[in-house]
Structure 1
C-alpha cells in the first residue's frame, strides 16, 4: 500500500471514530464537519457506502452555531438533516431548498426567525418537515406553492409566531398523515380544503385563535385517529357527521364556545378512547349511549351547562379511568352502579347540585386516586367502604351536608395527600388517626362541629403544608398542633411555582397518571375575619388556621420555631 493513501485513510478513520461516523466519508465533507469542533456525543454523521458523501447529519444540544451553517448546503447527497435544541437563530437559509435528496428535515426547538423559505416546498422527496418550537412568522405562508409535496407525511409547525390564517393550500398535500399546527398563533376559520387530506391520521390545531364553526368536512377523513381543537374560539355545534370517524381515538374540542347537545351519532365512534369537551356551553343531559363505546378511557365534560342526572348506563364503560362531570347543573343522586367501574382512577363530580348520599359502592373502585364530590348537596355519613381505596391520594368532600364522625377506616388510605372535609356537619373529636397519614400535604377540617381536645402527634406529618381546623369547638392546648416538621425545616425559595388556573385562591396539582390534566383544589384561609387571595401558590406554601375554636392556652413560644410558616 502506498504511504500517502495509507496516511489519508488513517486520518479519515480517526475522524470517523471521533465523530460517531457510520461508513468511510470523503475528506472534503469530514473536514467541514470536523472544523465545527462539536463534541462527539452531540453529532452523528452517516456517509454513503459507495460515494463517501455525507447522507445523514444529526446535531443536538450544542451552542456552537449562532445560525445554520451555510456549508451544510454543499452536502448535496443529504437525505436526513437534524439540528435540534442548538440555540440557532436568524432565518432558515434558502439554500436548504437545493438539497433535492432530503427526506427528513428537523430544525425544531431553536430560535429561528423570519419566514419559511419558499424553496423548502420544492423538495419533492421530503417526508418529514419539523420546524416546531421556533420563532418563525407567517410572512408569505398563505402563498405557499405545495404542488411538489407529493411525499410529505409529517408537517410539524407548532409553537411558532405565524399570526396568520391556516394556509388552504395545505389541503393539497394528499400524502400527509400527521399535521401539527398547535400553539402557533393561527387565526380565522379552519379551511374546508383539509377534507382533501384523505390519509390524515392526526391533526393538532389546539392553542390557537381559530374562529367559526367546526367544519363538517372532518367527517371525510376516514383515517383520522386524533382530532385536537382544544383552546380556540370555535363556536356553533358539534357536527353530527363526526360520528362517521370510525378510527377516531381522541376527540378534544375543550375550551371553546361550542353550544347545543352532544350528538347521538357519537355512539358510533367505537374506537374512541378520549372525549374531551370541557369548558364549553354544551347543554342537555349526559348521554347514556356512552356505554356503547367499549374502549372509552377518559370522559371530560366539566364546565358546561349539562343537566339531569348521571346515567346509570355509564357504569358499563368498563375501561373508563377518568370521569369528570364537574361544574355543571347535574342533580339527582350518584348511581350505586358506579361502584362496578373497576378501572376508575379519577372521579370528579364537584360543583353540581347532586343530592342524596355517597353510595358505599364507591369503595369498590379500588384504583381510585382522586374522589371529588365537593360543593354539592350530598348528605349522610361518609361510607366506611372508602377505606378500601388504598390508592386514594385526593379526597374532596367539602361544602356538602355530611354528618356524624369521620370513619376510622380512612386511616388505611395511606396514600392520601389532600383531604378536605370542610364546611359540612361533622361531629365528634379530632380524628387522631389522621396523624398516621404521613404523605398528607393538605388537611382541612374547618367549619364543622368537631369538639374536644386534639389528640395525636402532628410530628409524624412531615410533609404537611396546609392545616385548617378553624371554626370548630376544639379545646385545650395547641402545642402539639404546631409540632410540624415540614414547617420547621422549610426555607423560603423562589422555585416551584404553581400557576392558578381558575381563581386566585387555588392550589394546582398535576395528576401523575393524566399528565395533560390539572386538578385544582379550592380552599380559603380565613384569619381574623378576612380571607387572603393568591395569584400564585408556591409548592413551599405553609398555612395554619386555628381561628374560632375554644383553645385555652397562650400562644406557645414554639410557634417561633416554624421558620417556614407563611
Structure 2
C-alpha cells in the first residue's frame, strides 16, 4: 500500500534526520572521567546515544523527541552524556530544521566555537549549551533566533578554561531581537564590554536572569527589581559592579535573589520585607547597620544566606516568623549579644551557620528544638559556659562546629547520642576534662578536631575505623599512643603534637595507615624509633612533623612517599649528612632540619623550588650553595648557627619572594650585600656574628628595603656612618600599627618562622615572628658619627641596640617618638651631652642602657625614669 505523499515525505525526512543524528554521534567519544569539575556517573555516560541504532525509529531514541503530527525531530536532550570532542562547524545537527529545543549542557566540546550556523534553528525556543566548554566569542548569529524563550550559555564557574565572550554589539542585538525570551542564564560568560544599562531593554516577560561572575562593570540599573514577572535574579561575583537596593516597589513575584562580591549599597532597606514571594535570599556585599526587622515578613523563605557582611546589633527576634526556613546563614558579620531564644521556633531548619559573627553569651536551651538540624556551626564567636546537654537531642546532626570560643568544662555525655555525626570541631576552647572514651565509638565520625584545649588523661582505645582527620594537638594528653591507632585505615590527617605523650613509639604502628597524608607528632616526650626489621612505606605522605621526637636518623618510611611537600625533623639528634634521596623530592616546599647534629656541606641538589629551608644550629660547613635558580621560590632561608664560610651567594637575587634571610653565627666573609635591595618582600635580614666588613651605605637613590622590619648586623666589622639612606626607607618600621587587629605570625602554609633575637640583652629563639615585630641591632661594629634624627620616625620599633660602636654627638630627642620601644641600648659609645627629656615619653620601655658614654647633666624624671 502506498503512503499518502505527505506521510511519505515525512518518513523520508525522518530517515534523513536519523542519519544526521547518527553522523553527529560519530563526531564525539564518550569520556566517563570528571569533566568541567562535574563528577559524572560513569554508568550513565553515553547511555542516551547508546540507544541510537540504525534501523530503529529515531523518535524512540533516548534524548530525542518528535512532533506527534509531522514526525519531525523537535527536541534533542544530550545533557550530562559525557560527549567529548571538537564541535564541527558544519555539524549534521544543523540538518534538523524543525528543532524547538536543544540541550547539550555538561559535555566537553574542548573549547570549540559556537558555530554561526546556530541561526538555522529558526524554530528554536529553548537552547542550553551551558558548561559544555564552548569558548571564544558568542557568534552574532545567536541573536537571529526570534522564537527563543530560554537561553542558557553559562560557563562552569569552577572550570579555569577560557570562557565564552559576549560582546556589546551581539548582546544589544540579542536583547533587541529576542522579544520572547523569559529565561537568560549567562553566568561565567565574559561580558566586560557590555554596558549594564542594556539589560533594561530585555522583555518585560523575563522571569530568570543569571549573571554570576560575568565581569560586568559600572552601575546596574535597580529598575530590574521592578520587572513585573522576574522570579530569579542572580548577580554575584561581579566585584566591579554596583547596584542600589530599592527603598520601595520591588517586583512582587521575585522568588530567588542572589547578590554577592559586589557593591549593593551600605544598608539593607526595610523595604526588603515587601518581597512576600521570596523563597531564597542570598546577599554578601558588605552591607552595614542592623538587620531590618521587616525581614521577618518574608514568610515563604526557605533559604536565608547573609554571610560576609557587616551587620551589627542583635539578631532580630522577627526571624522567628520564618517558620519555613530550612537553611539560615548569618556567618561572618558583626552582630552583638546572644543568639535569640526565639530561634528555637525555626523547627524546619536543617542548616544553621552563625560562625564568625561576634556573638556572645551561652547557647540557648531552645536550640534543642531544632531537631531537623544536620549542620550547626557556631565557631569563631565569643560563646562561653558549657555545652548544654540538650545538644544531644539534635540526633540528625552530621556536623557540629563550636571551635574558637570560650567553652569550658567537659564535653557533655549526651553528645554520645549523635550517632549520625561525621564532623566534630571543638578546637580552641577551654575544655579541661578527661577525653571522653565514647568519642571514639561514634560510628560515622570522620573528622575530630579537639586541638588547643586543656584536655587531660590518656587516649582510650580506638573502636571504629571511619576517622579520616584527627587533631588532638596542643592539649595536656599523656601516656602512650595506643597501638589500636592501626585500625584507622582511612586516616588521612593525624596531629598529636604539643602534648605530654611519652614512651617509646615503634614507627611500624603506623604501617597500616596507607592513606595517611599528614602526620604531626612534634613537641611531646616521645621517642620515635625506626624498627630495623620493618620495611613499610606510607606512599601518600605529604606533610610530616617529627620535631623533638628523639630521632637519631631519618625516618626510612618517608623516603618513598610520593608528593612530599613539608618535612620538619627539627630538635632531634639526627647525625650524618643530608641524604641524597631528599634531592629527589621535587614537590618539597618546606624542609626544616634545624637543631640536629648534621654535618658536611649543604648539597646543591636540594629541591630547586623550596619555600622554606631551615638548617639552623647544625654543623654544616663550606660555602653556601651558589645554585639558587631563576624563579627561586624561597621565602625563608635560615642557616643560623653553623660553620658556613665564603661569601654570600649573589644568586639569592633570583629568590624574589624571599621574606627572611638569616645567616647569623657563621664564618661568612663578605661586604654588605647591597644587591639584596632588589628583593621586594624582604622583611627580616640577620647577618650577625660573621666576618662582614666595610660600609653599609646604599649604592642607589631609589627606595629599597621598604618592607624590612628586623635588621641585625651586630658583631661584625662594619664601619663608617650609620646607614641613613636605608633608615629613611624603612617604611615598614614606620607604619606597622596602622592596621589594628589580631596580630599574626609570619608563615608559609601554617609553618611558622623562627628567629634568634637579642631581646633586652639576652638571646632568645622566637618560635614565631609576629608581623608587627620590629627591631634594629647594630651593636659591636665600628660605626661612627652621629645617631641620625630620622631613627625617630621608626615608630613601630620594639628594640634598638647601637651599643659598642664609636658613635659620637648627642642622643637625638627624636628617639622620644619611639613610643613602642621596649628596650634601648646605646652603651659603650662616645656619646656626650645630656639625656633628652623626651625619653620620658617611652612608656613601654623596660630596659635602658646608656652606660660607658660621656653623658652629663640630670637624669630625666617621670614615667619609667
Whether these two folds match at TM > 0.5 is: yes
2:266 paired residue number: 164
Q: Flag the 1:458–1:93 CA change in 2: closer, same or farther, 3 A.
A: closer
The answer to whether the 8 Å contact 1:112/1:134 transfers is: yes
The separation in 1 between residues aligned to 2:202 and 2:122, in whole angstroms, is: 24
Note if 1:290 corresponds to 2:391: yes
Match of residue 347, structure 1, among 448, 457, 471: 448
What is the DSSP-based 3-state SS (H/G/I as helix, E as strand, rest coil) of the residue aligned with 2:304?
A: strand
1:465 paired residue number: 565
Match of residue 465, structure 2, among 339, 363, 366: 366
Match of residue 477, structure 2, among 353, 369, 378: 378
Q: Which one scores higher on RCO, CA 8 angstroms, separation ≥ 6?
A: 1
What are the superposed Cα offsets for residues 393-427 of structure 1, whole Å, 9 maximum, x if unpaired? 11111111001122532211111111111111112
The higher radius of gyration belongs to: 2
Match of residue 251, structure 1, among 342, 352, 364: 352
Task: Tell me how many residue pairs correspond in the alignment.
Answer: 490
Note if 1:456 corresponds to 2:561: no
The answer to whether the 8 Å contact 1:46/1:56 transfers is: no
Worse-superposed segment, 184-193 or 296-305? 184-193
What is the DSSP-based 3-state SS (H/G/I as helix, E as strand, rest coil) of the residue aligned with 2:189?
A: coil
2:37 paired residue number: none
Q: How far apart are 1:78 and its partner, in Å?
A: 1.7
Q: Flag the 1:401–1:434 CA change in 2: closer, same or farther, 3 A.
A: farther
TM-score by length of 1: 0.78
TM-score by length of 2: 0.52
The separation in 1 between residues aligned to 2:333 and 2:565, in whole angstroms, is: 36
Worse-superposed segment, 114-123 or 158-167? 114-123
The answer to whether the 8 Å contact 1:267/1:290 transfers is: yes
What is the DSSP-based 3-state SS (H/G/I as helix, E as strand, rest coil) of the residue aligned with 2:544?
A: strand
Note if 1:416 corresponds to 2:520: no
The answer to whether the 8 Å contact 1:97/1:123 transfers is: no
Note if 1:104 corresponds to 2:203: no
Match of residue 56, structure 1, among 150, 155, 170: 150
The answer to whether the 8 Å contact 1:464/1:484 transfers is: no
The separation in 2 between residues aligned to 1:478 and 1:94, in whole angstroms, is: 65
Note if 1:129 corresponds to 2:233: yes
The separation in 2 between residues aligned to 1:457 and 1:437, in whole angstroms, is: 6
Runs of 5+ consecutive residues of structure 2 not aligned to the other structure: 6-93, 101-114, 126-135, 155-162, 589-604, 610-630, 636-741, 758-764, 772-865
The separation in 1 between residues aligned to 2:349 and 2:337, in whole angstroms, is: 21
Q: How far apart are 1:92 and its partner, in Å?
A: 2.1
Q: Flag the 1:85–1:475 CA change in 2: closer, same or farther, 3 A.
A: closer
Note if 1:85 corresponds to 2:179: no
Worse-superposed segment, 62-71 or 409-418? 62-71
The separation in 2 between residues aligned to 1:431 and 1:465, in whole angstroms, is: 24
What is the DSSP-based 3-state SS (H/G/I as helix, E as strand, rest coil) of the residue aligned with 2:186?
A: strand
The answer to whether the 8 Å contact 1:435/1:460 transfers is: no
Q: Flag the 1:157–1:113 CA change in 2: closer, same or farther, 3 A.
A: same
What is the DSSP-based 3-state SS (H/G/I as helix, E as strand, rest coil) of the residue aligned with 1:176?
A: coil
Q: How far apart are 1:62 and its partner, in Å?
A: 2.2
The separation in 1 between residues aligned to 2:206 and 2:234, in whole angstroms, is: 13
Equivalent positions of 1:319-338 (< 5 A) are 319-338=420-439
The answer to whether the 8 Å contact 2:465/2:489 transfers is: yes
What are the superposed Cα offsets for residues 512-551 of structure 1, whole Å, 9 maximum, x if unpaired? xxxxxxxxx566667995657598xxxxxxxxxxxxxxxx
Q: Flag the 1:239–1:91 CA change in 2: closer, same or farther, 3 A.
A: farther
The answer to whether the 8 Å contact 2:350/2:372 transfers is: yes
The answer to whether the 8 Å contact 1:421/1:445 transfers is: yes
Q: Flag the 1:247–1:489 CA change in 2: closer, same or farther, 3 A.
A: farther
- Backbone CA RMSD of aligned residues: 3.5
The separation in 2 between residues aligned to 1:132 and 1:243, in whole angstroms, is: 31
Runs of 5+ consecutive residues of structure 1 not aligned to the other structure: 2-9, 27-36, 509-520, 536-566
The separation in 2 between residues aligned to 1:441 and 1:139, in whole angstroms, is: 45
